[in-house]
Amino acid sequence: MRHTPPLVLRGRTFDAGHAAVMAIINRTPDSFWSGNRHVGLDSALAALDDAVEAGADIVDVGGVRAGQEGGVVEAAEELRRVMPFLEAARAAHPDLVLSLDTWRSEVAAEAGAVGLDLVNDTWAGADPDLVHVAAEIGAGVVVSHTGGLPPRTDPVAMTYADEQGGDELAVVRDVLRVLSSGAAAAVTAGVPPERVLIDPTLDFGKTTRHSLTVLAHTDDLAGLGYPILQALSRKDFVGETLDLPADDRLEGTLAATAIAAWLGATVFRAHDVRATRRVVDMVATIRGDRPPARAVRGEPTGGA
């Protein structure tokens, strides 16, 4: 079992003893899972309050669907979707860690005015200015791996070097190479190491077999020396593994979450906050990194 350095955001520390649950709020009409489409601001803020009550440490808002469906969303429209939410969220929850899922530096720069804590770049530095903006606004950054694909590109027939020869770990080596380079670039840009998260970005630029292989090698990622984010929630690799639609992928997601937590991941991007919170806390206790909330079973009761 490996341990990664702690993640420190907004004065809070997340580590093996207290993993961070990152709640997802999608301000989009076309999120792949219908259970997290919050076009209206009131709906998004109600989801925010529910997530905080359920145990979310970080809230990640996105204004653009990851895949190609839904058409082009320009930066101005992305800002129109996310800024009112971020402003209201910061006013309602001053101490909450706020994250923005964007690959655009201009969007992150404007969002910095609300006290943004984390820039979740799920497209592997497609905009090279993004890490510099994160440093300027004092935010952390998520470094991702997408197999070299540009934003919003769905993977088709993805292969990695040496796979043709039966080397199934080629994708793991590519993930390690890209994440190591991306994390170093973020630190060079001025983002403190304790604010750099690495994300193997399952499903992005990967087949289901790739994602399963990378997940099983989460402990290799821990060797890079940065806290690990795993974004597993209801993803296609879960659906294809179990032949289930997005509505029925909770159990598969939680199984993957438990494995990732055991292998060293400490931040989990999730639609189902309460269930994820309980899973990662239970795993942390089994690993010996977190004491039970109470331990009275079989304890002496006193008396003569």
**pLDDT per residue as tens digits for the range 45-56:** 999 999 999 999
Q: What is the CATH number of the domain that holds 206?
A: 3.20.20.20
Exposed / middle / buried, residue 247 (Cβ in 10 Å: 0-12, 13-18, 19+): exposed
Distance CA 176, CA 228 (A): 12
Residue 199 located in a structural domain:
yes
Residue 68 located in a structural domain:
yes
Render the burial of 112-133: b for 16+ CB within 10 Å, e for the rest: bebbbbbbbbbbbbbbeebbbb
Going by C-alpha positions, the residue among 213, 203, 265, 261 that lies closest to residue 237 is: 203
Residue 302 located in a structural domain:
no
Residue 297 located in a structural domain:
no
Residue 298 located in a structural domain:
no
Distance CA 9, CA 192 (A): 11
| Amino acid identity, position 300 | P
Q: Say how many domains are in the chain.
A: 1
Report DSSP state, residue 34: G
Residue whose structure tokens are 């653009």: 64
- Report residue 34's pLDDT band, with 50, 70 and 90 as the boundaries: low
Residue 2 located in a structural domain:
no
pLDDT digits (tens, 9 = 90+) for 182-233: 999 999 999 999 999 999 999 999 999 999 999 999 999 999 999 999 999 9
Residue 163 located in a structural domain:
yes
The residues annotated as belonging to the active site are 235, 269
Residue 187 located in a structural domain:
yes
pLDDT at 28: 84
pLDDT digits (tens, 9 = 90+) for 255-268: 999 999 999 999 99
Distance CA 87, CA 145 (A): 30
Measured on CA atoms in the order 182, 184, 187, 192, is the torsion positive or negative?
A: positive
DSSP assignments along 147-195, one per residue? TTPPTTPPP-S---TTGGGT-TTHHHHHHHHHHHHHHHHHHHHT--GGG
Please give the residue range of the domain that contains residue 186.
Answer: 7-287
- Report residue 303's pLDDT band, with 50, 70 and 90 as the boundaries: low
Greater confidence, 146 or 69? 146
User: From residue 226, how far is each of 136, 168, 219, 222 by CA, in Å?
Assistant: 21, 24, 12, 7
